[in-house]
Amino acid sequence: MTEQIIFAENLPVLQQIPSASIPLIYIDPPFNTGRTQSRKRISTVSSENGDRVGFQGKRYETQVLGEKGYRDNFDDYLAFLEPRLREAYRILTANGSLYFHIDFREVHYCKILLDEIFGRDSFINEIIWAYDYGARTRKRWPPKHDNILWYAKDPKDYVFNYEDIERIPYMAPGLVGKEKAARGKLPTDTWWHTIVATNSHEKTGYPTQKPLGILRRIIQASSNPGDTVLDFFAGSGTTAAVCLELGRHFIMVDNNPQALEVMAERFKGHTDIEWVGFTPENCSSTK
């Protein structure tokens, strides 16, 4: 199979994918925050009249090198999601899974919609991805988590590779004995994992990039080597990066030109990827 990155609106693409053909779908759709998601790339140069003060009082001027972003605002969010989620259900294999990544603002509405499409019995887990980074409000408990809803097409027959999941250290290793402490434990439904920090080697500059560790855990658990993973809100391409690492095939879809530019840079040199609707050689970020 050819790995595919498709530059297009995702709904028409989904409608062309055969039924019961994809074992795992992960999506991280826009969260409907009501604002434009963006991230600036900056550098600093020494300047007497600079806007920043550094070591020993030296001043520096900030220069904006570029900015990536997209509009994250929908008049009817569920009406936008519903046809895409119904296609996702159709596309999944009989033992396939959907992981739906969202935040606290919309998760309860989305769960009701997913219960309707998949059936309440097909809801397997709500995973809480907790992190501790970034600004903190003083007006309420600072929201520092995302929600990942896991649905299986058949709640009695789905892939869960217990032994393949990367184990984590016990929080109190002295309570479990040396052998268990050395082996580590299976993560629960609450995942403590840092976001992609500004100085991280993973960083692509895409505003809502997700960490490799989160996708690695999902793909290890709910797919097998050689399976195809679909992500139709591909963004920075983290799903594809983990698939390349773990020996899975992938289909990525996004309609944001900046997302395709980020992926073109991220996968530069991977000649086995088929680009549809986009030519990475013409992208300025890869030159």
What pLDDT, on the 0 to 100 scale, is given for residue 37?
38
Tens of pLDDT, residue by residue over 205-218, are 787 789 999 999 99
Q: Which residues have C-beta within 8 Å of that of residue 13, sequence separation ≥ 6? A: 6, 232, 253
Are residues 99 and 53 part of one domain?
A: no
Are residues 177 and 99 part of one domain?
A: yes
Q: Are 106 and 74 in contact (CB under 8 A)?
A: no
Are residues 84 and 18 part of one domain?
A: yes
Listed in sequence order, the DSSP H helices in 150-285 are 178-183, 212-222, 238-246, 257-266
What domain range includes position 271? 3-34+73-286
Q: Which 3 state secondary structure label does DSSP give 243?
A: helix
Are residues 85 and 131 part of one domain?
A: yes
Q: How far apart are CA 110 and CA 121, in angstroms?
A: 16
- Model pTM? 0.83
Are residues 122 and 64 part of one domain?
A: no
What are the residue ranges in the chain where pLDDT is below 50?
34-35, 37-43, 53-56, 65-72, 286-287
Q: How far apart are CA 154 and CA 119, in angstroms?
A: 9
- In whole numbers, what is the pLDDT of the chain averaged over residues? 86
Task: Examine the fold and report which residue of 21, 48, 69 is the final residue of a domain before the chain moves on.
Answer: 69
Which domain CATH number covers 173?
3.40.50.150
Are residues 127 and 18 part of one domain?
A: yes
What pLDDT, on the 0 to 100 scale, is given for residue 67?
47
What pLDDT, on the 0 to 100 scale, is given for residue 238?
96
Are residues 162 and 28 part of one domain?
A: yes
Place of tokens 């434009």: 36
Are residues 135 and 64 part of one domain?
A: no
What pLDDT, on the 0 to 100 scale, is given for residue 133?
77
What pLDDT, on the 0 to 100 scale, is given for residue 215?
97
Are residues 41 and 161 part of one domain?
A: no
Are residues 54 and 135 part of one domain?
A: no
Are residues 271 and 200 part of one domain?
A: yes
Q: What's the domain count of the chain?
A: 2
Torsion of CA 68, 72, 73, 79, to 10 degrees: 130
Are residues 29 and 57 part of one domain?
A: no
Among 97, 84, 116, 73, residue whose Cα is nearest residue 223:
97
